[in-house]
Amino acid sequence: MAIFRVGERFRKHRLLKRRGGRRDVTVVLSLTAMVDMFTVLVIFLLQSYNTTGRVIYLPKDVSLPKAQTIKPLSPSVVVTISEKEILVDKFVVATYADIKAQNEMLIPTLQKEVVAALARAKVEYDGKLQNKIKNLVQTDKKDLKTTAEEDKNTWKQVTVQADKGMDFQTVRKVLFTVTEAGAGQINFAVLKQALSNE
């Protein structure tokens, strides 16, 4: 610190003099350009997330077969058949070895679990407000036969996913049991195959 005589101040001190004119602390942000960029980014992300939004749980040892004639996934009870076990919506109901060993077509544990899962699906379906409104509107229409059947079957749908090397006898037993448990339409989960040129 410089030494001053009493009463005197060094008015031309180096640090007090501002070099280069005014020094601004703020940074000027180009807002219009930033908003444009964010808009483009949001639109791009929306496009890339344009899916049905349904997630299906797939165990690691199940590799699905490929097919071309496909429909989007719809909410339903999922039955998974792997080399080790049979699952209904993540719950293990039987082991593959047991199913292979049995001669009967019906699998009791699977049937019980599918019945319970379908009951839950029905409750969920009825509880949705949009379905309540749809049902009220449709009771006024005259030709509601096909639409009513379609509606009833949406909660009865069961999706079956099995490993592609699975022997069909096991799959047949599962299909039989699932039908006995009250399933309506059975859908098979596949991977989409690119359309081949004919």
Partner 1 sequence: MPGVYDEVGLTAQLRRIKQLYPDKVDAALAVADDIAYEIVIKTMDQILMTGFSSITFATGGPP
Can residue 181 be called a binding residue for partner 1 (CB under 8 A)? no
Q: Which is nearer to partner 1, 67 or 119 (CB)?
A: 67
In the structure encoding, which two tokens stand for residue 175, read together? 């299909």
Can residue 175 be called a binding residue for partner 1 (CB under 8 A)? yes
Instruction: Tell me the closest approach of the beta carbon of residue 147 to partner 1, in angstroms.
Output: 18
Q: Which is nearer to partner 1, 123 or 191 (CB)?
A: 191
Are the C-beta atoms of 64 and 191 separated by less than 8 Å? yes
Instruction: Tell me the closest approach of the beta carbon of residue 67 to partner 1, in angstroms.
Output: 4
Torsion angle, CA of 99/100/106/107, rounded to 10 degrees?
Answer: 0
Q: Which is nearer to partner 1, 131 or 170 (CB)?
A: 170
Can residue 171 be called a binding residue for partner 1 (CB under 8 A)? yes
Can residue 197 be called a binding residue for partner 1 (CB under 8 A)? no
| Burial of 42: CB neighbours in 10 Å, binned 0-12, 13-18, 19+ | exposed
β-strands 191-192, 66-67 pairing? parallel
Can residue 105 be called a binding residue for partner 1 (CB under 8 A)? yes
Hey, which residues does 144 pair with through a beta bridge?
Answer: none
Q: Is 182 left (phi over 0), alpha (psi -120 to 50) or beta?
A: left
Q: Which is nearer to partner 1, 66 or 152 (CB)?
A: 66
| # residues near partner 1 by CB under 8 A | 20
Can residue 83 be called a binding residue for partner 1 (CB under 8 A)? no
Q: Is 14 left (phi over 0), alpha (psi -120 to 50) or beta?
A: alpha
Hey, which residues does 67 pair with through a beta bridge?
Answer: 192
Nearest to 151 by CA among 168, 134, 173, 172: 134
Q: Which of 120, 134, 172, 192 binds partner 1 (CB under 8 A)?
A: 172
Instruction: Tell me the closest approach of the beta carbon of residue 166 to partner 1, in angstroms.
Output: 4
Instruction: Tell me the closest approach of the beta carbon of residue 64 to partner 1, in angstroms.
Output: 9
**Interacting residue ranges for partner 1, rule: CB under 8 A:** 65-69, 105, 162-169, 171-172, 175-176, 188, 190
